[in-house]
Amino acid sequence: MKNFKNLLENSNLKTTPQRLAILKELDTKGHASIEEIYETIKEMFPSISLATIYKNINALKEEGIISEICLHQKPKFEIDKSPHAHFICKKCGNVEDIPFNDIIKNDFNQKYPDSQKELYIYGICKKCKKV
Q: Are strands 76-78 and 84-89 parallel, antiparallel or unpaired?
A: unpaired
- Comparing C-alpha atoms, which of 120, 119, 34 is closest to residue 76? 34
Give the SS3 label for residue 110.
helix
Q: Are residues 18 and 72 in the same domain?
A: yes
Q: CATH code at 114?
A: 3.30.1490.190
Per-residue pLDDT of the chain (131 residues; tens, 9 = 90+): 478 888 898 898 999 999 999 999 999 999 999 999 999 999 999 999 999 999 999 999 999 999 888 776 678 888 877 778 889 888 888 889 888 878 877 888 888 888 777 788 889 999 999 87
Domain span holding position 120: 84-130
Residue 82: partners with Cβ closer than 8 Å, 6 or more residues away: 99
Number of domains making up the chain? 2
Q: Are residues 20 and 72 in the same domain?
A: yes
**Is there a contact between 60 and 19 (Cβ–Cβ < 8 Å)?**
yes
Q: Are residues 73 and 95 in the same domain?
A: no
